[in-house]
Structure 1
Amino acid sequence: MTKVKYSSTLTGEPFLFYESRQVARLKLTGRNDQQIREEIKTQNLFQYATEKKLNDRITAVLRRIKTLDETLLRFLAEKPSETAKVINLYAIMKTNRLMLDFMVEVIGDKFEQGDLILEKKDVNEFFAAKREQQENVARWSDETVAKLKQVLKRIVFETGILADRKTGRLQRLTLDRDVEKYFGDQGEVEFLRVLGNQV
């Protein structure tokens, strides 16, 4: 996976699974980004009460969708939700370095060590290390960091990896065979590892 610069955009761009699935379906019909943007707005496909966040969310989803080839678009659009959510996580990791590093350095390492409890200290240590290593992360306010901690954990929960938010219990995901084969064939070993798959 290629690394991009650290960004705090996840505070306004959470999991967005429902929205991403809608856009994947539109993309598979051959519509371009502008047509998709217009259709979302005119038909209120995201079902937002107001347009306040709509443009930002559309932009975020389109950016994520661009990282997926046709096979992954089909998985996101057509597979059962449990499987499609894994593809959504992949797209987030491809476009957000903080999410990528959190999954690799915290969740993947937990699975590798057989430590299936995500503790508050794990998340705090991750952010403390990033603040030391990255100048732009060090400039983020405590409020931004607190929000990012919540968003990261929520994404892991919504994907199904964080099975219990109170106890922090993690679970390995059993992947659809097509999906597992696809990522294996693509050499995405790191991604399979963060889902708890032995590779």
Structure 2
Amino acid sequence: MKKNEYSADLVNKGFWFTEFKKTIELYQTGKTSKEIKKMQEEENVYLAPSPDTGKRMVSTLQKRVECLPPEIIEHFLSFDISTQKMINLLAIMKNNRLFFEFMYEVYREERMLGKKELSDSSLRIFFKNKVQQSEKVASFTDGTIKRLSGAYKTFLRESGILEDSTNHYAAPIIDIQLENSIKASDWEPYYKAIMGVA
């Protein structure tokens, strides 16, 4: 999948924070992508419920990690869990244009306007606009859009941006070192999206 294409593939993927962290740890110990794939096939290091799910997890997690700036990978384990979860969210956004645009156009703007919670109508309007803008999104079924909406909310809950039992926004927490690394790279739009700033 080209990075500039819209995709509904997040309906089949999880936030997978524990597995994301494990992938970084494996890279830090010198494991190659091929070695990690082999470990998953032979040892099921991600505890996937099936071989097919394991393959999807390996491919997805490697893309998430490999898109990160090297200094973020290097210092990942020194960050607190809240910051680590934000890094995973950033990587998901970097790998999925539609989710990034949701974060930038809906979440960021609502935070800037002082809105307190994510409403179902905000998600409906976002997807309605994308259907009008893109033949690809227009090809998604209503069921796919409903599942994507659910996946987006799950990712925000698991990252800590939405409170667990509600759709109320919680202020994201980012380590100053990560903030500086992002601002010094081409990741600034992603930073603005998760922080809800102009």
TM exceeding 0.5:
yes
Q: Which amino acid aligns with 1:153?
A: K
Q: Which amino acid aligns with 1:173?
A: P
Q: Would you say the 8 A contact 1:90–1:191 is kept in 2? A: yes
CA gap 1:187/1:37 in 2 versus in 1, 3 angstroms: closer
Task: Indicate the RMSD between aligned Cα atoms, in angstroms.
Answer: 1.9
Instruction: Identify unmatched segments of 5+ residues in structure 1.
Output: none
How much does 1:187 deviate? 5.3
CA gap 1:49/1:3 in 2 versus in 1, 3 angstroms: closer
> Residues 44-96 of structure 1: CA distance to partner in whole angstroms, max 9, x if unpaired?
21112332311111111111111012222134444222111111111111110
Identical pairs, percent: 25
CA distance in 2, matches of 1:102, 1:176: 24
CA gap 1:101/1:91 in 2 versus in 1, 3 angstroms: same
Which residue matches 1:173?
172
Matches within 5 A, 1:18-29: 18-29=18-29
Which residue matches 2:153?
153
Which residue matches 1:94?
94
Q: Would you say the 8 A contact 1:22–1:77 is kept in 2? A: no
CA distance in 2, matches of 1:51, 1:77: 28
Q: Which amino acid aligns with 1:99?
A: F
CA distance in 1, matches of 2:64, 2:6: 16
Which residue matches 2:142?
142
Provide TM-score, normalisation by structure 2: 0.91
Paired positions, count: 197
CA gap 1:6/1:189 in 2 versus in 1, 3 angstroms: same
Q: Which has the higher contact order (CA 8 A, sep 6+)?
A: 2
Which residue matches 2:63?
63
Which residue matches 1:10?
10
> Residues 3-60 of structure 1: CA distance to partner in whole angstroms, max 9, x if unpaired?
6210011011121111111111111222211101112332321112332311111111
Q: What SS does structure 1 have at the residue aligned with 2:163?
A: strand
Range with greater deviation from structure 2 (43-52 or 15-24): 43-52
Runs of 4+ in 1 over 4 A off after TM superposition: none
Instruction: Identify unmatched segments of 5+ residues in structure 2.
Output: none
Q: Which amino acid aligns with 1:155?
A: F
Are 2:84 and 1:84 aligned? yes
Provide TM-score, normalisation by structure 1: 0.91
Q: Would you say the 8 A contact 1:112–1:196 is kept in 2? A: no
